[in-house]
């Protein structure tokens, strides 16, 4: 059982790392800045693979309850906001002469993850202020550290981009609200797989409808790498990696306690942030490093509080 958990955790970390790096490559290096098409493609692949897995008996999906589906609909809307805003934030390009790999500017993944972590502050605040749940001092300190790191980062980021930060803020609010709705669901109403299946279906429909009004449907015809194999390969990889990341996340949550699950997620973020700095060079100042380390400390405290609570 111990080896099985370790294997699932390592699989999750590999999928997490590969998914972020592949998405970053497509969005920032190839400059495929058409989020309705990119995220629509990813959710289409994920939905098809999940549907095939269901038909083959590899996954169990039960969405027969109309009331449960309608109750989950607001969460699916937030899911679209999460992936769309996240794609817009990651695609932001920053002027940097240090990117030796692609000679193109890159908005750093560690910055995105630091802002993404603030979603935990939203869920923590909701639990304490609205649900009146008891919150440990470690979790309160964690929320304060995460908030302080994200708040100080824009003032110390030498590659500051208002649009990138704007979409990152939209992303973190959607993530926080999504987690709140997910926790408020009735037990046994919808499984994690059911929820993700509905997210995929709703996202494909909504993003397909939005692709023309946003200009992505016609704008993609001018994309310079549209007929290049590296673009096709990267897009296919992003779709499959997103699906396997979802499956490994569901498996991780089902096999492990919340504290252990949080530890693996933290480990995956550290690896992804560290390796992305090596692959996509960013301008690091002492203040920027301090913000990133403060965010890491905040998430480490969150892991500690989760393990202590479980």
Per-residue pLDDT, 307: 84
In a domain, 22, yes or no: no
In a domain, 20, yes or no: no
In a domain, 1, yes or no: no
In a domain, 116, yes or no: yes
The pTM of this model reads 0.90
Per-residue pLDDT, 189: 78
Per-residue pLDDT, 107: 53
In a domain, 2, yes or no: no
State the Cα–Cα distance between residues 301 and 297, nearest whole angstrom. Answer: 6
Per-residue pLDDT, 249: 95
Specify the number of domains making up the chain: 1
What domain range is 203 assigned to?
29-57+65-309
In a domain, 17, yes or no: no
In a domain, 215, yes or no: yes
In a domain, 221, yes or no: yes
pLDDT in tens, the chain (310 residues): 778 889 999 999 999 999 999 998 998 888 898 999 999 999 999 999 999 999 998 888 987 788 889 999 999 999 999 999 999 998 874 434 334 344 443 457 899 999 999 999 999 999 888 888 888 888 999 999 999 999 999 888 777 888 889 999 999 999 999 999 998 887 677 899 999 999 999 999 999 999 999 999 999 999 999 999 999 999 999 999 999 999 999 999 999 998 999 999 999 999 999 998 888 766 778 888 899 999 999 999 999 988 887 6
């Amino acid at each position: 059982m111990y080896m099985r958990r370790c294997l699932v955790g390592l699989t999750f970390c590999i999928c997490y790392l590969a998914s972020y790096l592949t998405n970053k490559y497509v969005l920032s290096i190839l400059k495929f800045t058409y989020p309705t098409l990119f995220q629509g493609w990813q959710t289409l692949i994920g939905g098809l693979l999940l549907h095939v897995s269901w038909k083959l008996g590899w996954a169990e999906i039960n969405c027969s309850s109309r009331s449960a589906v309608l109750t989950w609909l607001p969460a699916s809307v937030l899911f679209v906001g999460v992936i769309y805003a996240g794609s817009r934030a990651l695609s932001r390009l920053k002027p940097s002469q240090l990117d030796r790999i692609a000679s193109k500017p890159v908005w750093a993944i560690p910055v995105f993850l630091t802002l993404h972590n603030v979603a935990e502050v939203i869920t923590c605040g909701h639990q304490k202020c609205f649900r009146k749940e008891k919150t440990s001092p470690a979790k309160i300190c964690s929320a304060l550290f995460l908030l302080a790191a994200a708040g100080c980062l824009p003032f110390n980021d030498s590659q500051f981009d208002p649009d990138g930060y704007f979409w990152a803020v939209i992303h973190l609010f959607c993530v926080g609200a999504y987690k709140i709705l997910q926790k408020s669901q009735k037990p046994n109403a919808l499984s994690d797989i059911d929820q993700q299946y509905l997210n995929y279906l709703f996202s494909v429909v909504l993003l397909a409808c939005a692709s023309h009004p946003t200009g992505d449907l016609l704008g993609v015809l001018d994309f310079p790498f549209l007929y290049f194999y590296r673009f096709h390969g990267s897009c296919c990889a992003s779709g499959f990696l997103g699906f396997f990341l979802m499956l490994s996340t569901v498996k991780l949550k089902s096999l492990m306690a919340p504290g252990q699950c949080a530890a693996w997620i933290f480990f995956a973020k550290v690896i992804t942030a560290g390796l992305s700095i090596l692959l996509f060079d960013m301008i690091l100042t002492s203040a920027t490093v301090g913000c990133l380390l403060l965010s890491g400390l905040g998430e480490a405290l969150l892991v500690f509080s989760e393990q202590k609570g479980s």
